[in-house]
Amino acid sequence: MAPQFVRLEAGVPYPITLEVADRFGAMNIELQWSVKGRDNTAEAVAAARKADVALLFLGLSPRLEGEEMFVQVEGFSGDDRVSIGLPKIQEDLMKAVAATGTPTVLVLLNGSAVAVNWADAHIPAIVEAWYPGQAAGTAIADVLFGDYNPAGRLPVTFYKSLDGMLPFDDYSMKERTYKYFTGDPLYPFGHGLSYTTFAYSDLYVTESVYAGEPVDVSVIVTNTGKRAGDEVVQVYVTDREASVPVPIRKLVGFKRISLEAGAEQTVSFKIDPRDLSLITDDTRRVIEPGEFDLSVGGKQPGFSGAADAATTQTVTGSFTVEGDPVELEL
């Protein structure tokens, strides 16, 4: 529906008739208005110029991403996202505020990944807050003021673009999720920074097990920074000799630990044999003998630049599964 413009005088009441047809049985009714001719971007830029730090709260909302919606915004088609970037109006606002030279923090409020490539290159700090709920203001303020040391890790991959991505009605999983994506992500699954730093050493892994036996892993994690903080220790494995296509790597364990500055802790895992299994072409779940690569750290291994979390490390090793194949229940 095209916008309707009316002139209203301050302090004068006006009758309004709202006609609604409920077609879905669960409709919400809202009355919204905006002031014609107001330049919100100019107001934001003026405020940023006067500020010591500019905080930009951008992203998506249930008004933009959801099901059975009719969204008439660039980058969206009905209830589908056809772009993984921020809405253009938000991208333009971010660039205008950053151009003031005032140190800027981007706080993302969203329910799915967004490609914030420009922000990654030009904004000094980015906080992913998702849809944080009623205590959002306090929680975000604690992080920004340094009263709380964040330790969250991304549960999804943040891609740079949709280039080369298969449509979602293709179920091959090629180039999709951290398990099968061979490109260079903006931020990989498991990524996250801290106000302190962590080092990994003394990796131990059972060198050889028979198919069906668990694999023991341990590592020493040290807080090498000046502040207390949490670390999320992640274990990934790669099957090097699989008879069928398998993930590039697979998360098989993680633990969140708290360490004071200078403290260290031995963290142990027992990899379940099922996590070393695969599905054969005839749909059987089988643990095959062969060589497996192992990575333990606060992130996935093998990335560089912004995709590599600079405040943590990884250590790598390998182990062998021997004996005959073992079939498991699906």
- Kindly report, residue by residue over 216-251, the tens digit of the pLDDT: 999 999 999 999 999 999 999 999 999 999 999 999
Checking if the pLDDT of 302 tops 60, the result is: yes
Which pLDDT score is estimated for 3?
Answer: 62
| Rg of the chain in Å (alpha carbons) | 25
Task: Report whether 269 contacts 152 (CB < 8 A).
Answer: no
Q: Which tokens go with 172?
A: 């091959």
Query: CA nearest 122: which of 138, 142, 102, 137?
Result: 102
- Kindly report, residue by residue over 85-114, the tens digit of the pLDDT: 999 999 999 999 999 999 999 999 999 999
- Kindly report, residue by residue over 155-206, the tens digit of the pLDDT: 999 999 988 888 878 888 889 999 999 999 999 999 999 999 999 999 999 9
Checking if the pLDDT of 5 tops 80, the result is: no
Better-predicted residue by pLDDT, 59 or 62: 59
Percent pLDDT > 90 in the chain is: 77
- Kindly report, residue by residue over 255-268, the tens digit of the pLDDT: 999 999 999 999 99
Task: Return the C-alpha torsion angle 43, 45, 51, 52, nearest 10.
Answer: 160
Prediction pTM value: 0.88
Query: Within a 10 A sphere around the Cβ of 201, how many other Cβ atoms?
Result: 11
Checking if the pLDDT of 14 tops 70, the result is: yes
285 - beta bridge partners? 279, 328
Percent pLDDT > 70 in the chain is: 97
71 - beta bridge partners? 78
Task: Report whether 329 contacts 274 (CB < 8 A).
Answer: no
Distances (CA, A) of 310 to 145, 192, 202: 21, 9, 20
Which pLDDT score is estimated for 252?
Answer: 98
Which pLDDT score is estimated for 24?
Answer: 64
Checking if the pLDDT of 26 tops 70, the result is: no
Better-predicted residue by pLDDT, 61 or 118: 118
Dihedral of alpha carbons 177, 275, 295, 234, sign: positive
- CATH of 197-330 among 1.20.1280.290, 2.170.190.11, 2.60.40.10, 2.60.40.1180: 2.60.40.10
Checking if the pLDDT of 304 tops 60, the result is: yes
Checking if the pLDDT of 23 tops 70, the result is: no
Checking if the pLDDT of 25 tops 70, the result is: no
- Kindly report, residue by residue over 32-47, the tens digit of the pLDDT: 777 777 899 999 999 9
Phi, psi dihedrals of residue 187, rounded to the nearest 5°: -140, 125
Checking if the pLDDT of 320 tops 70, the result is: yes
Q: Which tokens go with 188?
A: 């990989």
> Which residue is associated with the tokens 């409920």?
22
Task: Report whether 318 contacts 291 (CB < 8 A).
Answer: yes
Query: CA nearest 249: which of 301, 324, 197?
Result: 301
Checking if the pLDDT of 1 tops 60, the result is: no
Q: Where are the alpha helices (DSSP H) in the chain?
A: 40-50, 88-98, 117-122, 136-144, 177-180
